[in-house]
Every structure is written in structure tokens, then in C-alpha cells.
Amino acid sequence: MRETGQPGPVSNPASNRPAPAARDALGALGALAERWWQFQRREFPFTAFLAGQPNADPTMFREAPADHERRAAEAASMRQEIAAIDFCALTPAERITHRMLEREIADLVEQHAVLSHLRPWLLPAGPEFTTFFFANSCQAGTAADAHTYVERLATLPAFFADVSACLAEGHARGLRFPRVVLTGALANLRQITTGAGAGGGGALGTEASPWFGPFKRSPAAAQPGVMREAERARSVIEQGIVPAIGRLAERVERELMPHARDSIACTEDVLGAEYYSCWVRHFTTTTLEPRAIHALGLAEVARLDAEMAEVAREAGYAGRLAEYRRFLAEDPQFFATTGEALRERLQVVAKTIDGKIPSFFGRLPRTSYGIESLPAATSARLPPAYAQPNPADGSRSGIFWVSGLPQMVPTTMHVPLALHEGWPGHLMHIALMQEQTALPAFRRANFTKYSACLEGWALYSETLGLDMGLYQTPHQHFGRLDMEMWRACRLAVDTGIHLEGWNRERAIDFMLAHLSLPRVTVEAEVDRYIAMPAQALGYQIGGLKFRELRRRAEQRLGERFDIRAYHDQLMAAGPVTLPVLEEVVDGWLDERVGQAA
């Protein structure tokens, strides 16, 4: 024992201290990682908001052409800085941070170089959807919360003006949108600005709009202070947001639509091939070439066709796979009668899954989630479901949003959809990422930049329904395979559209030939691939990687394989590229095998 006041043992003797080069590299990396995060907070305020670190400035989105020019120049400078850091002097954990930081900086520079900022997404995740997502992440539980929300809400008209300015500059530089994209986007915008809704809220109605949602959800809605802010919100929506959307719609209709392309491939536009390659790399987080992805997609479709034919045989449709698909797509027994009934069915499925989770995961997030219905008026051009993560500060639960149109979500999809969007899929995965406080802030907050990791995990989560015993009938097994086939088709269809010359009808027919989804869902999906090139490629590529890693772990560990420990290791990796994820798992397996040697 040492006497009080005397120095204790040296915990880091000189012999164990990092060499000067390592200390310099670590210091430079840490400083740059923090600068990158502060850069993210300033340039992408909504990212900071979701990370629980909102700025004092109420602005939620900065998307004017000048904003993009400024951030690209700053990122280019940081790209030179990270290239100068001695990568070999870093520890394995620090090297992962280096690689993720280097990737994010390079992505921003390269996306700007191919004029991504001048062709913003308009469908289905257009700017109006982005603001819905923002509003659904907010609360008005107190007068102070309500005041803050309205201040932020009041900045949204400027966001729509920024998007409009980017469209105008892109148009001036020769960029042209496919006609089908502009038609769908314009319909969504007009849905808001016209119709029989109350006040200036258009077809949605002011109080029915997502922007008013925080007040509809507020437990303090009757308090005078909250009521005053609600009146301010009505004014902002009716006099600010809806007119701004109207002006954006006018630009789309009057300036862009007359010059729209009948072709649908992004590669036929200015810098189109470079644009597509850039986003393929981003969304897959790999170096796979688009034509290799197309071939993989066709091979996966063939594999799944064979598996589905076997399930059809078990269901009494031997040799009649197409007939079985039509039966599942058209028979009324596979569809809820109302949007409310659909939501209630999914709530039962989700609760059943909740009871299985502790057998598969040692660590669970502190925040849970709820299931809510999308407005029927806007559901036709949106995905059947999507996940809205909880804000990192825990101020609101995550939301599993499901279509308000039951025909878009047959009962055969319910189990895999709940596993994918809720727990253990997106909402659990992201909640655990947000709690990884040992990771640099930019790695916890920028999870949306790692689509193949997020979507791959969610697709793998669908297969956990097999381990959990949730697929008990041929129809349910077929539903899981149908969901995977959906993702496999994306590989073939997205690359088919943008690389192989497929037109819209060919893409729709291909999906209808291999899926039991209703035509309305397939059409919305194909339009999504046209409007958001490469975005859908990360799902199956990521899912295949997660399943490959699971098989590898089982083979190497044999009877010592512990599924809870394995899943906890995957969750601890945080958002990473697929190559880095593979390295993390291999390192963990080497350690476990070494311990048993």
C-alpha cells in the first residue's frame, strides 16, 4: 500500500507509451475527427439535431448552391489533411476511424464533383418528405419545446427555396430529370398545396399535416403556452411552408417539365456515368462494378426463384409458381381491410418479436419504438414502410411507419417487415449505434452514410425470424423469400435501368414476374429506382455479407458459437463499410479461436 499523498504506481510506463509518431498521428486524427463533426453540425444541422446536439441557430437545412460550394471546398482541404496522417502509426481501432473519416470526406468532394447537389432527390424522398421526417422527430411537450419547434419550422420555407435554386442552376447547366420523376414529384407537391384541406394545408389539411404533428401528439396541448405556439405553427404552415412548396411546384412544372427527358437512365444526363459510379460506391460501400452487380442480381433472382418454387410445392402449387404468386397478390385474405387494422396487426407481430429478442442479444438499447400509420393521401408514392430513428437524446421514441394503404402491405410481408424496420432491424440497430459513446461523434451520428451496413443488417434481421420460429406456414416462408427477392430484383433492375437500357415497363414486368407484390407497389418501387439511382443496391449486397459472416463464425467456432455474443460484436462495430465490418468480425473470430487454443 502507498501512503496518502504519495504518488501511485505508474499506469503507463515509458516503455508502453506510444512512440512520438503514433502520438502525433493519434492527435492529428482526433483533432480532424472533431473538426469534421463540428463541420457536420454546422453544414447539416438536422444531423446535429438527430444526434442530440442541435445548434443554437434554428436552421435545420442548408442546401443552397453556395452552401454546397463552401462545404466542398472545406472538405477538399480536410482531404489533404487526412492524407498526411501516418496511418501505420495508428492502432487497429484508430485505423477504422481513419478509414471512415477519409471515406466521408472523399464522398462529399466526389459527390459535389458529379453535380449531385444540382439534381436533388425529388421522389419518393423529396424535400417535402424530408421536412415530414423532421417534424415527426420533434416534440411539443412544453411551451419551451413548442416554441423551439416553431422557430425551426419557420426556417423550412428557406429550405424549399434552396432546393429550388439548386434545380434552377442544374437546369442552366444542362441537367434534365426524367419525365416520370417530375410527374410523380409534382403530384406529391400539388397534393400539399391543393385540395379540400383546412386552411392553407392543402389536401393534407393544416392540422392533419406532419408539420402540425408535434402539437397533435403533445400531452400538454391544452396548456396556454403550447396553444399559443400551435397558433404560430398554423400561421407558419399556411403562410410560409405551403406557399414555398407551391413556388417549388411552379418551378418543376413551368421550367423543368417542358424540358424533361423521356429516357430514365441517369447515365444519359450530364456526367451521368460518373454520377452513377459515384453513388454505386457510396451505397454499396464496396468497389463492385455496376455490371458485376447486375450479374449478381440476375443470379440471386434465379436462386430465389428455385427456393420459392419449393415453397410453392409445399403450399400445393407444385410447378405453378406464377399462379401461387398471383394467389398471394390478389386473394383478399392476405390484406387488412383498413389502414388501422394493418397497423394493429403489425403491433401484434412486433410484440411477439419483442419476447424473442433477449435470447439473441445481450445488449439492448434504452429507447424503444412505436408503430404509426402514414396518411393514406400520401401513401401511394411512398414505400410500404420505413423506420424513423429516435433522436439520440431520447426525447422521442423511434417510429415504425407503415403505409395507410393496406393493399401495399400484404400479411405475408408482416413478419419480415417488422423484423426489418423495428427490432432487431433498423430501429434497434440505430439506437445501439447512438449509444456507442466510445466512438467519435461523427461515427455515431453519420449512420445514414453506411447504407449497406444498415440495410444489410435489416435484411439479415429478416432471416432471424427463422431462428425465432416466426415463419410457420408456407405462406409466411414465401413472404420472407418474396421480401428477399424484392431486394435481389433491385440489383438487376437498378443497374438494368441505369446501365443496361431497360425502360420503365421492362423493369415493372421483370419485378412482377418474380414477385407477388401488387402492381401499385412495384410501380412505386421502379419509380424510386429511377429517381434515386443506386440507392437500392446496398440491401441485398449488405444482406449477403451479413449472412456470409454468420456462416463463417458458425464454422470457425462450432459448438462454441454464441449467437448473443456474436450479435453484440456486430452491434459494437457501429456504422462501417462492408470491408471494415468483415475485418472486425475476422479479428473477433481470431481472438476467440486463439483463446480456445
Query: How does pLDDT run across 239-293, given as a tens digit for each residue?
Result: 999 999 999 999 999 999 999 999 999 999 999 999 999 999 999 999 999 999 9
Tell me, yes or no, whether 592 lies in a domain. no
User: In angstroms, rounded to a whole number, what is the distance separating the alpha carbons of residues 308 and 480?
Assistant: 10
Please tell me whether residues 204 and 301 are part of one structural domain: no
CA angle 524, 526, 528 (to 5 degrees): 70
pLDDT over 90 at 3, yes or no: no
Tell me, yes or no, whether 267 lies in a domain. no
pLDDT over 90 at 492, yes or no: yes
Half-sphere exposure (Cβ direction) of 185: Cα atoms closer than 13 Å: 30
Q: How far apart are the first and last CA of the chain?
A: 37
Look at residues 262, 297, 316 and tell me which one is the last residue of a structural domain: 262
Please tell me whether residues 66 and 141 are part of one structural domain: no
- Helix ranges (H only) for 435-501 are 441-445, 451-467, 474-499
Please tell me whether residues 300 and 244 are part of one structural domain: no
Q: What is the pLDDT of residue 25?
A: 86
User: In angstroms, rounded to a whole number, what is the distance separating the alpha carbons of residues 312 and 481?
Assistant: 11
Tell me, yes or no, whether 583 lies in a domain. no
DSSP helix/strand/coil, 291: helix
CA angle 380, 386, 389 (to 5 degrees): 145
Q: What is the pLDDT of residue 521?
A: 83
578-595 pLDDT per residue, tens: 999 999 999 999 999 988
The pLDDT-based confidence of 26 (bands split at 50, 70, 90) is confident
Please tell me whether residues 395 and 527 are part of one structural domain: yes
Tell me, yes or no, whether 3 lies in a domain. no
Helix (H) or strand (E) holding 143: helix 143-153
Amino acid at 108: L
pLDDT over 60 at 201, yes or no: no
Look at residues 522, 543, 564 and tell me which one is the last residue of a structural domain: 543
pLDDT over 70 at 130, yes or no: yes
pLDDT over 90 at 555, yes or no: yes
Mind giving me the DSSP string for 90-140?
A: S-HHHHHHHHHHHHHHHHHHHHHHTTGGGS---SSS-HHHHHHHHHHT---
Please tell me whether residues 437 and 318 are part of one structural domain: yes
Tell me, yes or no, whether 478 lies in a domain. yes
Report the number of secondary-structure helices (H) and strands (E) in the chain.
26, 3
Tell me, yes or no, whether 50 lies in a domain. yes
Answer whether 274's CB lies under 8 Å from 111's CB.
no
Answer whether 434's CB lies under 8 Å from 519's CB.
no
User: In angstroms, rounded to a whole number, what is the distance separating the alpha carbons of residues 538 and 577?
Assistant: 11
Q: What is the pLDDT of residue 8?
A: 39
β 398-402/385-388 pair status = antiparallel
Please tell me whether residues 108 and 235 are part of one structural domain: no
The pLDDT-based confidence of 19 (bands split at 50, 70, 90) is low
Q: Which domain holds residue 518?
A: 275-543
Q: What is the pLDDT of residue 581?
A: 98
Please give the DSSP secondary-structure letter assigned to residue 363: -
Please tell me whether residues 311 and 203 are part of one structural domain: no
Please tell me whether residues 331 and 202 are part of one structural domain: no
Q: What is the pLDDT of residue 278?
A: 98
Look at residues 543, 559, 591 and tell me which one is the last residue of a structural domain: 543
Tell me, yes or no, whether 532 lies in a domain. yes
Q: What is the pLDDT of residue 309?
A: 98
Helix (H) or strand (E) holding 373: strand 369-373
User: In angstroms, rounded to a whole number, what is the distance separating the alpha carbons of residues 139 and 142?
Assistant: 8
Tell me, yes or no, whether 479 lies in a domain. yes
Please give the DSSP secondary-structure letter assigned to residue 198: S
Please tell me whether residues 31 and 147 are part of one structural domain: no
Q: What is the pLDDT of residue 205?
A: 78
**Nearest partner of 33 among 82, 69, 73, 74, judged by Cα:** 82
Residue whose entry in the numeric block shows the C-alpha cell 399559443: 228
pLDDT over 90 at 429, yes or no: yes
Please tell me whether residues 198 and 104 are part of one structural domain: no
335: left (phi over 0), alpha (psi -120 to 50) or beta: beta
Instruction: Identify the weakest region by mean pLDDT among 5-14, 40-49, 253-262, 561-570.
Output: 5-14
Q: What is the pLDDT of residue 287?
A: 96
The pLDDT-based confidence of 391 (bands split at 50, 70, 90) is confident
- Mean of the pLDDT values across residues 80-107? 96
Q: What is the pLDDT of residue 21?
A: 64
pLDDT over 90 at 380, yes or no: no
**Nearest partner of 381 among 124, 148, 103, 67, judged by Cα:** 124
506-551 pLDDT per residue, tens: 999 999 999 988 888 899 999 999 999 999 999 999 999 999 999 9
558: left (phi over 0), alpha (psi -120 to 50) or beta: left
User: In angstroms, rounded to a whole number, what is the distance separating the alpha carbons of residues 478 and 476?
Assistant: 5
Axis crossing angle, helix 179-193 with helix 242-251, rounded to the nearest 10 = 150
Please tell me whether residues 436 and 315 are part of one structural domain: yes
pLDDT over 80 at 378, yes or no: no
Answer whether 354's CB lies under 8 Å from 423's CB.
yes
How many other CB atoms are there within 10 angstroms of residue 47's CB atom? Answer: 19
Q: What is the pLDDT of residue 13?
A: 41
More confidently predicted of 9 and 306: 306
Please tell me whether residues 239 and 380 are part of one structural domain: no
Q: What is the pLDDT of residue 197?
A: 36
Q: Domain total for the chain?
A: 3
